[in-house]
Amino acid sequence: MKATRDEVYAAINSERDYQQAMAAKAHGDPSNDGKKHLEEFVLYMDDYMAELKHQLSRTWGPDAYDQPLNTLRKVVAIGVGAMEVWGAPQRTTPTKHEAGTDLTK
């Protein structure tokens, strides 16, 4: 089932709200919130990506994507959290693709 960009961003925002609420109750040091190193965010994302691959490789049937899509939302939201802490650089329009293909025409 497809989703609009607005629906996708709403799902990501709902996950970020959840993550922030959980962080407030976390077992770790709450003074660390907002101070995680970029490497920590990437490690969390990598761990959940491994879980996502596991789910995709072992789930079949009409509901096979239900849990993987929930996990993907979590991974994307962790990336959003990383960019909230460390910055969100804008995409600049390249004039050439890595292979030399001109993308401006």
Domain boundaries, the chain: 5-86
* pTM, to two decimals: 0.83
Q: Kindly tell me the number of DSSP H helices and DSSP E strands found in the chain.
A: 3, 0
The string of pLDDT tens digits covering residues 10-62 is: 999 999 999 988 887 776 666 565 678 999 999 999 999 999 999 999 999 99
The string of pLDDT tens digits covering residues 73-93 is: 999 999 999 999 999 998 877
Nearest to 10, CA basis, from 88, 90, 80:
80
Q: Is the Cα torsion angle 89, 70, 42, 85 positive or negative in sign?
A: positive
